[in-house]
Amino acid sequence: MDTLKVRDAKDVEEVVRAAIANEQPLEIIGHGSKRAIGHAMATNAVLDVSALNAITAYEPNELIVTLQAGAPLADVLSLIDAKNQQFAFEPMNTAPLLGTPALGTIGGMIAAGLAGPRRIKAGGARDHLLGAQAVSGFGDSFKTGGKVVKNVTGYDLCKLLAGSWGTLSIMTEVTLKVMPKPEAERTLFLRGLDDAAANKAMTAALGSPFDVSGAAHLPTSAFRTKIEGLGDIAGQSEALTVLRLEGITASAAHRAGSLRELLAPFGTATLVEDTVSAALWTTIRDVLPFAADGALGAWPVWRIVCPPASGAALGTLLARETGGELIYDWGGGLIWAALPPKPDAHAAAVRERTNAAGGHATLIRAAEDIRRTVDVFHPQAPGLAALSERVRASFDPKTILNRGRLSRGVAA
């Protein structure tokens, strides 16, 4: 395997142009932390952008940071944390789930677009990418968007780049929106609810004016693995339904009180604060109960996105049919499903039930031989799939970039 470690955007252009001329597809990597997501790529040439790692500009008062795509996410997070700011979409750390060592790069964070619990309030990676410089499959460096939040100048190609898994263009520099970190966080939890009741409680909370910034449900079995930092919250082997409130201290505390009253029909909610609360939400964001080194480490894991109020019905059905374990986030709109090992990872059941609920499912963790026979990304209706392919080809007509990552059977 040939790995080409580019030094600047010019190198990227030259590599892509050479790849076009040689009809040589390229796998694009930063730290390689998410390489195990998607299909095996039809290529033996790797373009490594990790040396494009500069922090170009950080302007806390403008709420923006401009970075090269290979900048290590860990470094960037500590940089903005020092100014009490954050990426409000809570980018997921996939390392524990996938069993990889690295947190990854900024480019990988955007290309994967995996947002955490605050997605329901603050949006996803796509809502925080303000501008990008990227090299298309034509070998041309282009820019889209800008360095300001409010911008409608031209098509918003940033939306396409976020979550494109490196199949449209190679981002070289990006401008992201940052937001102030909340002063305080409070989490209310209810014990012992079944999935359906928990879904109702989360729906009530998210339909309240209390500005809930996290709504998740961990059924009993999610605690089969011991989770560090949660102390006795997780120790009682009972399902937990958790709701987060953030903001200035007085407000978070006040809303927690109001929400507790609203949730009284579902039981008496208990309150945890700052550090304990933060550890709990990291557990949910990174799906730690399904970690690669835990009891369910060998099980395939699906990431199912659906209309939030349908979450419990879909999840319960899937769990019953497959014997799997679930974690609900986004008020029921995101289901992490670890299913017992099976050659097709229960794809037929997952896709059929998910389609019926109006959602879509991604096989986020599975052995490579499973991914050879199962579609990792949700198959789209034919018309939409055809449009998506035309959109892809408008950036990369020769399918040079990450060929085969999104769909099976794309020939080398």
Partner 1 sequence: MAIMMPASDQAVLARRAEIVAALRAIVPGEGVIDTPAEMRAYESDGLTAYRQPPMVVVLPDTTEQVSLVLKYCAGQGIKVVPRGSGTSLSGGALPLEDGVLLGLGKFKRIREIDFDNRAVVTEPGVTNLAISQAVAHAGFYYAPDPSSQIACSIGGNVAENSGGVHCLKYGMTTNNVLGCEIVLMSGEILRIGGKSAENSGYDLMGVITGSEGLLGVITEITVRILQKPETARALMVGFAQVEAAGECVARIIGAGIIPGGMEMMDKPAIHAAEAFVHAGYPLDVEALLIIELDGPKIEVDELITRVETIANACGSTTCQISTSEAERNLFWAGRKAAFPAVGRISPDYLCMDGTIPRGALPKALARIRELSEKYQLGCANVFHAGDGNLHPLILYDANKPGEIERAEAFGADILRACVEFGGVLTGEHGVGIEKRDLMPEMFSEIDLNQQQRLKCAFDAQGLLNPGKVFPTLHRCAELGRMHVHAGKLAFPDIPRF
Residues between 349 and 368 that touch partner 1 (CB under 8 A)? 358-360, 362
Among 44, 54, 99, 142, binds partner 1 (CB under 8 A): 142
Q: Give whichever of 223 and 395 is closer to partner 1, judged by the CB atom.
A: 395
Give min distance, CB of 17 to partner 1, in A: 6
Count of Cβ atoms closer than 10 Å to residue 40 Cβ: 15
Using the rule CB under 8 A, give the single segment among 104-112, 217-225, 268-276, 307-315 that binds partner 1: 307-315
Pairs from 78-85 (Cβ < 8 Å, separation ≥ 24): 79/55, 80/178, 81/181, 83/58, 84/180, 84/181, 85/60, 85/178, 85/179, 85/180, 85/181
Give min distance, CB of 138 to partner 1, in A: 6
196 binds partner 1 (CB under 8 A): no
Write out the binding residues for partner 1, residues 373-392 only, by CB under 8 A.
377-378, 380-381, 383-385, 387-388, 390-392
210 binds partner 1 (CB under 8 A): yes
Among 54, 82, 149, 367, binds partner 1 (CB under 8 A): 149
- Side-chain-side CA neighbours of residue 325 (13 Å): 24
Write out the binding residues for partner 1, residues 76-95 only, by CB under 8 A.
84
Q: Which positions from 211 to 230 touch partner 1 by CB under 8 A, shown as an x/- string?
A: x-------------------
Helix runs in 62-194, H state only = 73-81, 95-98, 106-112, 119-122, 157-161
Among 99, 231, 235, 307, binds partner 1 (CB under 8 A): 307
Q: Residue 314 — φ and ψ, nearest 5°?
A: -65, -45
Among 40, 74, 181, 238, binds partner 1 (CB under 8 A): 181
Q: Give whichever of 250 and 298 is closer to partner 1, judged by the CB atom.
A: 250
CA distance 53 to 75: 10
Q: Give, for 360, the enclosing helix (H) or strand (E).
A: strand 360-365
Q: Give whichever of 306 and 339 is closer to partner 1, judged by the CB atom.
A: 306
Q: Give whichever of 48 and 238 is closer to partner 1, judged by the CB atom.
A: 48
Give the interface size with partner 1 as a residue count (CB under 8 A): 106
Tokens representing 92 are 């997921």
CA distance 229 to 114: 23
Q: Residue 215 — φ and ψ, nearest 5°?
A: -145, 105
Query: The tokens 């953030």 sit on which residue?
Result: 246
Using the rule CB under 8 A, give the single segment among 219-227, 306-314, 344-352, 364-372 that binds partner 1: 306-314
Using the rule CB under 8 A, give the single segment among 175-183, 221-229, 278-286, 344-352 that binds partner 1: 175-183
CA distance 310 to 331: 10
408 binds partner 1 (CB under 8 A): no
CA distance 403 to 85: 36
247 binds partner 1 (CB under 8 A): yes
Q: Give whichever of 162 and 319 is closer to partner 1, judged by the CB atom.
A: 162
Q: Give, for 304, the enclosing helix (H) or strand (E).
A: strand 301-305
Write out the binding residues for partner 1, residues 275-304 only, by CB under 8 A.
none
Q: Read out DSSP for 230-277?
A: -GGGSTT-S-EEEEEEEESHHHHHHHHHHHHHHTGGG-PPEEEEHHHH
Contact 299, 341 (CB under 8 A): yes
Tokens representing 284 are 């949910």
Q: Give whichever of 253 and 276 is closer to partner 1, judged by the CB atom.
A: 253
347-356 helix and 311-322 helix, angle to the nearest 10 degrees: 160
Query: The tokens 């579902």 sit on which residue?
Result: 266
Using the rule CB under 8 A, give the single segment among 2-10, 67-75, 93-101, 337-345 that binds partner 1: 2-10
43 binds partner 1 (CB under 8 A): no
Give min distance, CB of 159 to partner 1, in A: 3
Give min distance, CB of 93 to partner 1, in A: 19
Angle among Cα 34, 282, 289 to the nearest 5 degrees reads 75
53 binds partner 1 (CB under 8 A): no
Using the rule CB under 8 A, give the single segment among 33-41, 200-208, 291-299, 313-321 that binds partner 1: 200-208
